[in-house]
């Protein structure tokens, strides 16, 4: 069974850490939505993360009811 966080994996690529980076990008955007393509472009450029890490980060935020999907946008539900 796959694990969300493993002691052998790079912690910088864990779903909660990538989710935090996605939330930072959402807060920097003008509205409460951001394109998933923009998220991938920014995170792959700055963190050298993989598409799988970004996918797990978005699913982590969705499972906590912080964001929702409206193709091709990620929309922030929870206002901090």
> In angstroms, what CA-CA distances link 32 with 5, 6, 9, 68, 71?
28, 32, 31, 11, 14
pLDDT at 34: 92
Rounded to the nearest integer, the mean pLDDT of the chain is: 85
Reported CATH class of domain 12-76:
mainly alpha
The pair of three-digit structure tokens given for residue 80, joined into one six-digit string: 């901090």
pLDDT at 24: 92
The per-residue pLDDT for range 66-75, each reduced to its tens digit, is 999 998 999 9
Look at the block and give the residue holding tokens 């959402």: 26
Q: Per-domain residue ranges for the chain?
A: 12-76
Indicate if the pLDDT at residue 78 is higher than 80: no
Give the burial string for 29-67 (b: 16+ CB within 10 Å, else e). Answer: eeeeebebeebeebbeeeeebeeebbebbbebbeeeebb
3-class DSSP assignment, residue 20: helix
């Amino acid at each position: 069974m796959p694990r969300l966080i493993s002691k052998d994996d790079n912690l910088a690529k864990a779903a909660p850490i990538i989710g935090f980076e996605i939330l930072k990008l959402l807060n920097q955007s003008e509205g409460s939505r951001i394109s998933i393509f923009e998220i991938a472009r920014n995170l792959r450029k700055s963190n050298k993360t993989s598409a799988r890490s970004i996918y797990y980060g978005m699913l982590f935020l969705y499972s906590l009811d912080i964001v929702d999907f409206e193709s091709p946008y990620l929309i922030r539900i929870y206002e901090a």
